[in-house]
Structure 1
C-alpha cells in the first residue's frame, strides 16, 4: 500500500461543517487512498472530534486529534478579525510529532475533485514549501504585494501548502512570526498569508494554481488567460483543488456562482452519510 497522505487541517468550530464537506469530496475523488488526517485546534470539543472521527472511520482513514495547549496559544499573537488557528499551519512542525516529516495542508473552504497523490509526492526541489500564487490576467497582484511587503517573489496563497516539516522545524520560529507582526501589524492585510510570504517566500516552490489551488471566483480569468482552453470541462478533468476564496462562501444563501452547486452536492452527500450515524446519548 502507498504511504498515507498526511493531511493537515487547522480550525475552530466555525469551520467544522465546511471541513466535513471538504473531507467528503476528498474521499469521493480519491477512492481507496490512504489518508491520515491531523486535526490541529485549540477549542474543539470531544463531541465535535468524535463526530469527525466517525466520518473518517467511514472512509477508512486515521485521525489524530492534536489539541494545542493554552500555554502555546497564549504566545500566538492575534490581529482583530483573524483567529489564532490560522498560524497553526506554519507552526505545525512544533505541534505535530517529530516522526511526521511532510504534510499537505488544506483550508476547510475547499473541494477536492481529482486525485491528490501527485501533489503529495511532489519533489520540492530543496524548498521548504510548495504553494500557488493567485494572479489575475497579469502579474499585477504580485507587483502590488511586492511593493507592500518589500518582497521579490510571487505572492503565495496559504490555503494549500505542502510542507517539509523537517526543514520547517529548523527554519520557522514563533519568535520570528511574533516580531514580524509586532513590527508590521499596521500593513498586514491577511496576517498569516503575509507572514508566509514575508518570511518564507524565497523558500516556496510555485505550483500551478489552476490545478492545485483554483480560485472559484476567477473562472473567467482562467478561461481568458488560457485562451478559452480552461473551460468548465477542462476544470473538471484537470483541476484537483477548488478553493472558495473570499465571500460569499458556497454554504451561504447568497452564493450563486458557477461552483456553488458542486459544493452543495457534496454537502448533500455528507448529510446523507451523517444521517446513518447512530444517535449519541448523553452519559
Structure 2
C-alpha cells in the first residue's frame, strides 16, 4: 500500500499520530510505503520520521518539491504553494508508483484501509467521499458556487489512479482555475479539485472512509440511530477531525477528542518524550 502525505514541519506530530493509528489498525499491511511531499522540513526531522516509520516496517520516501514547478502559480498567504501538492502529486511522484492513497494528517485510522485501497474505480481517476450528503442544502450551495453537478467531495482522503491522473492533471489547468475563480474559492485546493476533477471521481461512503467527527449527531440521525459510537468503532476506517479547532488543542470538545488524545499519548510515549 502506498500512502501520500503533504505537510510542513508544524504537522509532524499529528502526522505521526495518524501513522501510528494506521499501523495499529492495519497490521496485515506488509512493507507499506509513505510518500511525503514537502518544501522545507529539516533533514533531522525527516530522519526522525523515517526511523518512526521503519519501526513499523514501513518505508518513508520524502520528496522535496522543486520550486520551479510553481513559477507560474498564483501564490499568497491564502494560496501557499503547499496547497497545490496533493493536486499535482501525479506530476511529482515517481513514475513507477501506480496508485496512492492520500491522507490528511488530522485523522485517526481505526479500521483496515485495504477495502478502500483495492476499490475498483470503474473508469474514474479518483475516489473520495462527500460530507455534504448530510445536508442537501450544503450540497446545492456548493454546486451553485462552483458550477458543478456532482456531490462536493472532501479531499482529505483520496484514492488516486496515478497512471490515469498523469494523463489528466496539468499544472497549467490547476493554476488557471485558481486565477480565474479566486473569488469563488473558499477551501481553495478542495474547491479546485471539485471543479476540475469531480466528474472523474468515484463517490465512496464518508461514514466509512472520511467520517467528519463534527457531524456525529447528524450521522446518527441519518442512520435512524444505528450508527452510534459502537458502530463507528467497529466499521469506520477514517475519523477526520475537520475544521480549524483540532483535538490537540486545549479547548477542543468532541466525543472523539478523548480517543484522539489516547492515540496521541501512545505516540508520544513511543517517541520517548
Contact conserved, 1:79 with 1:191, CA < 8 A, in 2? Answer: no
Aligned residues: 272
2:132 alignment partner, SS class: coil
Q: Does residue 1:40 correspond to 2:47, yes or no?
A: no
Q: Which residue of 1 aligns with 2:26?
A: 30
Contact conserved, 1:156 with 1:197, CA < 8 A, in 2? Answer: yes
Unaligned runs of 5+ residues in structure 1 are 277-283
Contact conserved, 1:12 with 1:42, CA < 8 A, in 2? Answer: yes
Q: Does residue 1:144 correspond to 2:152, yes or no?
A: no
Which one of the candidate residues 9, 16, 22 is aligned to 1:20?
16
Contact conserved, 1:153 with 1:202, CA < 8 A, in 2? Answer: yes
Q: How does 1:23-172 map to 2 (within 5 A)?
A: 23-34=19-30, 35-135=32-132, 137-172=134-169
Distance 1:137 1:169, change over 3 A: closer
Which one of the candidate residues 247, 250, 254 is aligned to 1:253?
250
1:122 alignment partner, SS class: coil
Distance 1:65 1:116, change over 3 A: same
Q: CA deviation at 1:247?
A: 2.6
Which one of the candidate residues 170, 175, 184 is aligned to 2:172?
175
Q: CA deviation at 1:108?
A: 0.4
Q: CA deviation at 1:200?
A: 0.8
Give, in whole Å, the separation in 2 of the partners of 1:212 and 1:46.
32
Q: Which residue of 1 aligns with 2:237?
A: 240
Give, in whole Å, the separation in 2 of the partners of 1:88 and 1:143.
28
Give, in whole Å, the separation in 2 of the partners of 1:79 and 1:190.
14
Which one of the candidate residues 190, 196, 199 is aligned to 1:199?
196
Greater mean alpha carbon deviation, residues 59-68 or residues 234-243: 59-68
Q: Does residue 1:10 correspond to 2:42, yes or no?
A: no
Q: Which residue of 2 aligns with 1:281?
A: none
With structure 1 as the length reference, what TM-score do the two structures score?
0.93
Contact conserved, 1:29 with 1:112, CA < 8 A, in 2? Answer: yes
With structure 2 as the length reference, what TM-score do the two structures score?
0.97
Q: Which residue of 2 aligns with 1:279?
A: none
Which one of the candidate residues 183, 186, 194 is aligned to 1:186?
183
Q: CA deviation at 1:84?
A: 2.1
Contact conserved, 2:102 with 2:157, CA < 8 A, in 1? Answer: yes
Q: Runs of at least 4 residues of structure 1 off by over 3 A?
A: 73-76, 79-83
